[in-house]
Amino acid sequence: MQLSSAGLDLIKRSEGFRGQTYLDVAGIPTIGYGHRILPGECFSNGIDEARGAQLLAQDVSGAERAVTRLVKVPLTQNQFDALVDFCYNLGAGQLGASTLLKNLNVSQYDAAADQLLRWDHAGGQEVAGLKVRRQAEFDLWHQQS
């Protein structure tokens, strides 16, 4: 399964584009559409949206692979998209260790969706942007194709 255009739009809308390096809400150096800058990467001159789209595609591919590897039950396209957005934002490790995934992999789809809404904190604080993002994932999860 691959991320749909609706899923990609959710990531782009949630992340926004920034052509210069910035610190995300968790204090991680980031650029473009939420690309976490890796050791050895340097963007001292910033990037344009085309380069941001390339980084986004690479990062989305990793999130898609993680969701495919971790989830053991069938998903709708919208559920897959919501999980890829979640994984893109928080990482495969967070998804892998989550109650969300435990619930999902025993076919408790509604309980898994409810867990999305619990991931709206960073640094011990509720973050309005994360609250909006988790609600968008929850809504997408329940949307009929």
Give catalytic residues, as residue numbers. 15, 24
Are 104 and 73 in contact by the 8 Å Cβ rule? The answer is yes
Are 56 and 80 in contact by the 8 Å Cβ rule? The answer is no
Smallest CA-to-CA distance from 112 within 95, 97, 100 is with: 100
Please tell me what DSSP assigns to residue 117.
T
The torsion angles phi and psi of 23, rounded to 5 degrees, stand at: -100, 130
Q: How many CA atoms lie within 13 A of 54 on its CB side?
A: 5
